[in-house]
Structure 1
Amino acid sequence: MLKLVGLSGSLRPGSHSTAALRAGLRIAAESGAATELLDLRELNLPVYLPDLALEDYPAEAQGAISRLVAAFRSADVMLWATPTYHGCMSGALKNAIDYMQLLARDSAPYLQGRAVGLVALATPAPLGNMADCVTELRAWLAPTRVTLTANDFSPEGTLTSESGNRRLTRVVTELLGFHRALR
């Protein structure tokens, strides 16, 4: 079964980035995909250190890093979402992406042969940097990129905007279609 992994770049409780991913994962599940959410707030990853192997990180961090890397490896497609911080993706998201270095020696290194969709909150400013990461990781970039604002969500954090849901559905459909076309 096709698996979509969502990577949330926010550490904020009640994050709109995470809410957008939950909506995207729901859309994917309704289309028959398996889904997994990587909420960086819950994972509480240490800063990536390029000279360390997984077993060199503190014991209390190894479980979260292992879960992250296992999800990266199991993803057929990914959806990344981030708040906009000073015109860029969040540091938490970039840190998580840096852990993909642990996939460098895989038979299909990094995210080779997979597709990634992008969601930014507040402004589209981080989308360019995120797209650069996607291509550096040897993945394909979904053509639709989604920008949402706080106005697209209910006070409870549900994505309620018709246009936001339509664009999110479009990017998820592109991701699922990309994978199915490859297989």
Structure 2
Amino acid sequence: MTATRPLIVGLGGTIRPGSSTEKALAHALRAAEQGGAETRLLGGEFLARLPVFDPRPGEASEPQQELAEAIRAADGVIIASPGYHGSMSGIVKNALDTLELTRNDAEPYFQGKPVGVIVTADGWQAAGTTLMAVRSIIHAMRGWPTPFGAALNATSGLFDEAGACREPKDAWQLATVAEQVVDFARMKAAAR
């Protein structure tokens, strides 16, 4: 990474093409690009190809290796999950579990990386509890959760037909998560 072009990896979505969660993640990644970052999206289609993580020693699949390499290369990460029954989706949790492949790295998991969180849910309770669950996992995985996490209530539809946020406050939330991840990645690079 150069101090001016950090790589931000977006991880999340659902297995449903065009999900609100993946649209929100893509929106945040566009905001990161506008802030000068390079981005990479590992969305629902990618997550659906990940086998259930098996912690026993063995050969990692190609998608599992791709995920581990993407996170190793990242200067920052944005995780987006729907809020299912008060917590993150199984495919997002499986992706996070898969990062156990990095456990023996000099900088395992999210070590020293800023990690932003986006949650979409049909209600504020699920959005809030999911946000806290994901932030707790980021701490456990040695990452730096950004001070702000986006919690979006998807009950009335988040995006219009053109893919823009219906509510300015939602666009602001997504841009704020992106800005904080990019800014923290630059600060870390400057401190090296």
Instruction: Note whether the superposition's TM-score is higher than 0.5.
Output: yes
Secondary structure at the aligned position of 1:89 is classed as coil
Q: State whether structure 2 residue 182 is matched by structure 1 residue 176.
A: yes
Secondary structure at the aligned position of 1:125 is classed as helix
Q: State whether structure 2 residue 159 is matched by structure 1 residue 153.
A: yes
Structure 1: runs of 5+ lacking an equivalent = none
What displacement does 1:22 show?
0.6
* Equivalent residue number for residue 11 of structure 1: 15
Give the partner amino acid of 2:140. Answer: E
The 8 Å contact of residues 16 and 157 in structure 1, kept in 2 or not, is answered as no
What displacement does 1:42 show?
3.1
Give the partner amino acid of 1:87. Answer: G
* Equivalent residue number for residue 93 of structure 2: 94
Give the partner amino acid of 2:98. Answer: Y
What displacement does 1:142 show?
0.2
Secondary structure at the aligned position of 2:149 is classed as strand
Give the partner amino acid of 1:171. Answer: V
In 1: Cα distance, 2:185 partner to 2:46 partner = 28
Percent identity at matched positions?
35
Out of 123, 130, 136, the residue aligned to residue 132 of structure 1 is: 136
What displacement does 1:41 show?
2.4
Secondary structure at the aligned position of 2:128 is classed as coil
- CA offsets per residue over residues 6-57 of structure 1, 9 Å max, x none? 011411121111000110111111111110000132341110000133x2x5
Give the partner amino acid of 1:46. Answer: P
Q: State whether structure 2 residue 46 is matched by structure 1 residue 47.
A: no
In 2: Cα distance, 1:138 partner to 1:82 partner = 19
Secondary structure at the aligned position of 2:170 is classed as helix
* Equivalent residue number for residue 103 of structure 1: 102
Structure 2: runs of 5+ lacking an equivalent = 122-126
Q: State whether structure 2 residue 23 is matched by structure 1 residue 24.
A: no
In 1: Cα distance, 2:129 partner to 2:164 partner = 23
- CA offsets per residue over residues 100-157 of structure 1, 9 Å max, x none? 1111111111111111011111222211110111001101010111011333211454
In 2: Cα distance, 1:92 partner to 1:182 partner = 30
* Equivalent residue number for residue 74 of structure 1: 73
In 1: Cα distance, 2:163 partner to 2:35 partner = 23
**Distance change in 2, residues 1:52/1:11 (3 Å):** farther
Cα RMSD for the two superposed structures? 1.5
Q: Which runs of 4+ in 1 moved over 4 A?
A: none
In 1: Cα distance, 2:29 partner to 2:151 partner = 17
**Distance change in 2, residues 1:124/1:52 (3 Å):** same
Q: TM-score when scaled to structure 1?
A: 0.91
* Equivalent residue number for residue 124 of structure 2: none
Q: TM-score when scaled to structure 2?
A: 0.87
